[in-house]
A = this chain, B = another copy of it.
Amino acid sequence: MIANNSQRIGVIDLGSNTARLVILNAIPGYAYRLEDEIREVVRLREGMTAAGLSDTAVARALFTLRLFKRFCDNYPVDLIIPTATSAVRDAANGPAFLQTVSQEIGLDLQVLDGEREAYYGTLGVLNEVQLGNGYVIDIGGGSAQVSKVRSNLYQEGRSVPLGALALTEQFVSSDPIEPADVQAIQQQIAQQLDTIPWLQKKQPKPHRHLVGLGGTIRNLASIEAARQSYPLNTLHGFVLSRSSVQKIVELLQRLPVSERQKISGLSRDRADIIFAGALVLAEVMDRLRVESLTISRNGLREGLFFEHFWQHLAYPVVASVRRFSVLNMARVYNYQKAHASHVRYLATRLFNQLAPLHGYDMAERELLDAAALLHDLGTVISYDDHHKHSQTLIINSGLAGFSPRETALVALLTRYHRKGRPTPDSFESLLSEEDLTILTRLAAILRLAEFLERGRNANVDDVTAVWDETTLRLTLIADEYPAVELWEAERNAASLMEIAFERALILESTAVPDIQFGH
């Protein structure tokens, strides 16, 4: 990313359970990346009474905010967006607390009402998931937000006091939890959800798209991911089924907190409050009649950030999540645009002409397109083995908008863009038998395109394909005789093309050769 053009943006989110500061490095509208993060379990809502926030909770919050402010000043951060949610919103002494923060620390916390909290959480989600029509659920410490999305636009949202910490504080007095406590929580959940018109009872028809965010939901997904030995490093796009939620609820109900802390995937500091949150999720899924929910990494903080990042748009949501996530990654890692674009162009030309042989469509072409733009990213680590590093970078960061299967395929395409016979590596559980054929064919096309652009000067202007039962003939149209490209493609890409398309490959050029390689 071009550093001297970028700005640092700090977003502070003082929640009921957790306070977070994220620092993002961004060129608005162009690219962004996470630069630093501090997370502290402040438990601002702990011990809250009719008089408001407790003195010790206020002291913890002040300490943490002072820390965040100092941290931002030291970096330095160009813009701080400081916010607070339900605990401050609900507390009788909230206004006094805000004044103290402003005077003593110099941070003017923006208190988000329930509707705004739902809105920003949804903005975060919509910049990561192409949702179309669906619902978003965010379970926080103090409240939970459910939002409705239509045509990829936030339509309406509601905040209800169903945060995991709030419910636990209010209703849990046993460990392991006893049936009476469980019933009390469930009663409260039912009562609160009944206040949302479109969640009052089971929906007439099942919905397909529900996206979940927030620490509670992420932790539930992370428990399931650990159980499955899920092969990706990020939970973005992870699908959590209603039946998995049920299994986790039953497990948590059986165990005392001390035992819960040993569950793989669950944060120790969430072991006490997660059960109540899981019950909320289960009930919302039942009322919406969804079989599964998709995990979003983004949430409130990212929504606040994107409002700034997409400030030139009428509605701060990226037009195409998938397209932008590929470009953002390419830009962050300083891709060589001219080279990558020409490889993409040649790969697309091959893909389109060979359609009668492979029978693939837009979906596969989009994977090829992404892999072509990202294939050389690994050079940021080192030239040696850069194809392996490209895979590592993609698996590590994830690709917003792409499913785990698609992310694995794009990563594997970059992995095999130079050499090697494509294999599913450690992603076998995400891929079908048919996917391995897709992988081999797209890798063959990408590799051929790469070596046709080995000279890095876009010498090969076009490639045309004709074939019969036994041979595939590719003709290069080039500015000057493509000696380098023919030689490199022949040596490095021909054999995989022959395997992928089960034909002998003939590579030639319309131009007359001026040199020969008598090898």
Question: In the complex where A35-B383, A233-B385, A382-B397 touch, is A70 in contact with B455 (Cβ < 8 A)?
Answer: yes
- In the complex, A517 Cα to B66 Cα: how many Å? 11
Question: Is residue A60 contacting chain B, with contact meaning CB distance below 8 A?
Answer: yes
Binary flags per residue of A391-408, CB closer than 8 Å to B gives 1, else 0: 011001100000000000
Binary flags per residue of A43-73, CB closer than 8 Å to B gives 1, else 0: 0000000000001100110111011001100
Question: Is residue A456 contacting chain B, with contact meaning CB distance below 8 A?
Answer: yes
Question: In the complex where A60-B518, A483-B63, A487-B67 touch, is A456 in contact with B74 (Cβ < 8 A)?
Answer: yes
Binary flags per residue of A370-386, CB closer than 8 Å to B gives 1, else 0: 00000000011111110
Binary flags per residue of A335-357, CB closer than 8 Å to B gives 1, else 0: 00000000000000000000000
- In the complex, A55 Cα to B516 Cα: how many Å? 12
- Distance of A375 from chain B, by nearest CB (Å): 14
Looking across the interface, which residue of chain B has its beta carbon closest to that of A332? B382
Q: Are A71 and B455 in contact (CB under 8 A)?
A: yes
Q: Are A383 and B33 in contact (CB under 8 A)?
A: yes
- In the complex, A60 Cα to B491 Cα: how many Å? 14
Looking across the interface, which residue of chain B has its beta carbon closest to that of A104? B515
Question: Is residue A170 contacting chain B, with contact meaning CB distance below 8 A?
Answer: no
Q: What is the oligomeric copy number?
A: 2
A60 contacts which chain B residues (CB < 8 A)?
A: 517-519
Question: Is residue A457 contacting chain B, with contact meaning CB distance below 8 A?
Answer: yes
Q: Are A484 and B71 in contact (CB under 8 A)?
A: yes
Q: Are B383 and A66 in contact (CB under 8 A)?
A: no
A515 contacts which chain B residues (CB < 8 A)?
A: 62-63, 66
Residue from B59, B487, B516, B517 in contact with A516 in the complex, judged by beta carbons closer than 8 Å: B59
- In the complex, A380 Cα to B381 Cα: how many Å? 8
Question: Is residue A36 contacting chain B, with contact meaning CB distance below 8 A?
Answer: yes
Binary flags per residue of A90-130, CB closer than 8 Å to B gives 1, else 0: 00000000000000000000000000000000000000000
Residue from B37, B382, B385 in contact with A383 in the complex, judged by beta carbons closer than 8 Å: B37
Question: Is residue A34 contacting chain B, with contact meaning CB distance below 8 A?
Answer: yes
A484 contacts which chain B residues (CB < 8 A)?
A: 67, 70-71
- Distance of A58 from chain B, by nearest CB (Å): 9
- Distance of A35 from chain B, by nearest CB (Å): 6
- In the complex, A396 Cα to B386 Cα: how many Å? 11
- In the complex, A66 Cα to B454 Cα: how many Å? 14
- Distance of A236 from chain B, by nearest CB (Å): 11
A66 contacts which chain B residues (CB < 8 A)?
A: 483, 515
- In the complex, A380 Cα to B383 Cα: how many Å? 15
**Which A392-428 residues sit within 8 Å CB-CB of chain B?**
392-393, 396-397
- In the complex, A379 Cα to B60 Cα: how many Å? 30
Interface centre among A33, A35, A389, A519 (most CB of B within 10 A): A519
Question: In the complex where A382-B397, A396-B382, A516-B63 touch, is A457 in contact with B34 (Cβ < 8 A)?
Answer: no
Residue from B36, B71, B383, B393 in contact with A381 in the complex, judged by beta carbons closer than 8 Å: B393
A389 contacts which chain B residues (CB < 8 A)?
A: 396
Q: Are B483 and A383 in contact (CB under 8 A)?
A: no
Looking across the interface, which residue of chain B has its beta carbon closest to that of A491? B40
Looking across the interface, which residue of chain B has its beta carbon closest to that of A297? B384
Enumerate the 6 nearest inter-chain pairs by beta-carbon distance, A residue then B residue, closest first.
Answer: A74-B457, A63-B517, A59-B518, A56-B518, A34-B383, A67-B484
Between-chain CB contacts (< 8 Å), 27 pairs? A34-B382, A35-B379, A35-B383, A36-B383, A37-B383, A56-B518, A59-B516, A59-B517, A59-B518, A60-B519, A62-B515, A66-B515, A67-B487, A70-B483, A71-B454, A71-B456, A71-B484, A74-B456, A74-B457, A233-B385, A380-B380, A380-B381, A381-B381, A381-B393, A381-B396, A382-B397, A385-B396
Seen from chain A, the residues whose Cβ lies within 8 Å of a Cβ on chain B are 33-37, 55-56, 59-60, 62-64, 66-67, 70-71, 74-75, 233, 379-385, 389, 392-393, 396-397, 454-457, 483-484, 487, 515-519
